[in-house]
Copies of this chain bind each other. A is one copy, B any other.
C-alpha cells in the first residue's frame, strides 16, 4: 500500500500529484506524460488527450525545479534582480521594464533591496546563486564585485545597472551622469548665472561623484573659477539638503542658481527656497525627474533619466548572454534629457 491509499489523509487533498499519478490514471508511461507536458512531438493525439484529461482531473502541475535538475543546460527560467530598494520609484521603473522583457520569455524575477549595504549585496547574490538563477541584474554597491568572478567565469549571465562594477569585466547599463550634469550647468550659465552651487549625495556613491564632476567641469569650460563654487555633499535625505540649502542661501554672497544631484536633495532645496520665499528668484535644476514636478510653483526643471530604457537594455543584454552571446562585455550609456519647466529658466536678479 502506498501513501495514496492512506484513508486518514486522502492524497487528493494534501499531496501534490506527480507525473507518476498522471501516468497511472491515463494508463501510459511516465515519459509520455513528460512529452505531453513539455509539448514534445511524438505523441499521438489520442494519447495526448488522455494525458491532458488525467492531468487536469488531478490538477497536476509540472515541477520546474525537478525538471531542470536533469535537463541539459539546467535552466530554471528565473533570474535575480538586486535594486537599491524595491520601494524606490526609479528602481520600480527599471524593474517593470525588465519584467516585461523577461516574462515574455517565461522567466520569473526574484527581486531584492540592497539599501546601500555591501554585505547585503554579497548575501543576496549568494542566496540567488543557491537558487540557481539563470542570470543576475544588479546595482553594485560593494567596493568591488570581484567576488562574483567565479560565477561569471562559469558563464552566469550578469548585467550591472545604474553603476559600473569594479574588479570585474561585465556588461553594464548606466545613465550618462556626467553629461547630464554638464548640461544642467550649461543651461544655467546660458541664462546668465555665474554664481552656481552644487548640492549632492554621499561621495561614496559613484553616480553622485560623476554628476559633480560633470557639473564642475562644465563650469570650468565656461571660465568660472571652480575653486569658489560652493559644493555641499554627503546629503542623503531631504532634511539635510534643506538645511544645507538654507545655509547657503543665507550666506553673504548666495548663489543665484542651484544644481541638486538627486530627488531627495532636490526636494530639500525646494523646501528651502519656499521657506526663504525665493522660489522665483533662485534657479534650480534637479537631476532625475519626479511626479508632479510640473505642478510645482514654478515647475521644476530636471535632467530626466530613462529608467525604462535602462531596464529594457539590461534585459536585452541578459537574454543575449543567456542565448549564448560571448562577445566582449560592454557598457551601455543611456542619455539624459533636459526638461524645462520654469525653475531652471529663472535669470539671476539684477
Interface residues of A (CB under 8 A from B): 13-16, 59, 61-66, 68-69, 76, 78, 85-89, 91-93, 95-96, 99, 103, 106, 108-113, 126-132, 150-151, 153-155, 267, 270-271, 274, 290-292, 295-297
Question: Which residues of the other chain, B, contact A86 by a CB distance below 8 angstroms?
Answer: 86, 92, 95-96, 99, 111
Contact A129 B61 (CB under 8 A): yes
Please give the count of copies of this chain that the complex contains: 2
Contact B99 A132 (CB under 8 A): no
Give which listed residue, B59, B63, B109, B296, contacts A112 with CB less than 8 A: B109
Question: Which residues of the other chain, B, contact A85 by a CB distance below 8 angstroms?
Answer: 96
Contact A108 B96 (CB under 8 A): no
Q: Name the residue of chain B whose CB is nearest to the CB of A271.
A: B295
Contact A127 B108 (CB under 8 A): yes
Give which listed residue, B131, B267, B291, contacts A64 with CB less than 8 A: B131
Contact B61 A65 (CB under 8 A): no
Question: Which residues of the other chain, B, contact A59 by a CB distance below 8 angstroms?
Answer: 150-151
Least Cβ–Cβ distance between A99 and chain B, in angstroms: 6
Cα distance A108–B130 in the bound complex, in angstroms: 11
Least Cβ–Cβ distance between A120 and chain B, in angstroms: 9
Asked if A103 meets B112 with Cβ closer than 8 Å, knowing A13-B153, A65-B76, the reply is yes
Give which listed residue, B62, B69, B95, B131, contacts A78 with CB less than 8 A: B131
Contact A111 B113 (CB under 8 A): no
Give which listed residue, B64, B151, B292, contacts A292 with CB less than 8 A: B292
Question: Which residues of the other chain, B, contact A127 by a CB distance below 8 angstroms?
Answer: 106, 108
Cα distance A126–B56 in the bound complex, in angstroms: 13
Contact B130 A62 (CB under 8 A): yes
Question: Ordered nearest first, which 3 A-B pairs have the shortest CB separation?
Answer: A87-B96, A87-B92, A65-B65
Cα distance A143–B150 in the bound complex, in angstroms: 48
A sample of 21 cross-chain residue pairs with beta-carbon separation below 8 angstroms, ordered by A number, consists of: A13-B154, A65-B76, A66-B69, A86-B86, A86-B92, A87-B92, A87-B93, A87-B95, A87-B96, A92-B92, A95-B111, A99-B112, A109-B111, A110-B110, A111-B111, A267-B291, A267-B292, A270-B295, A271-B295, A291-B291, A292-B292
Cα distance A66–B271 in the bound complex, in angstroms: 54
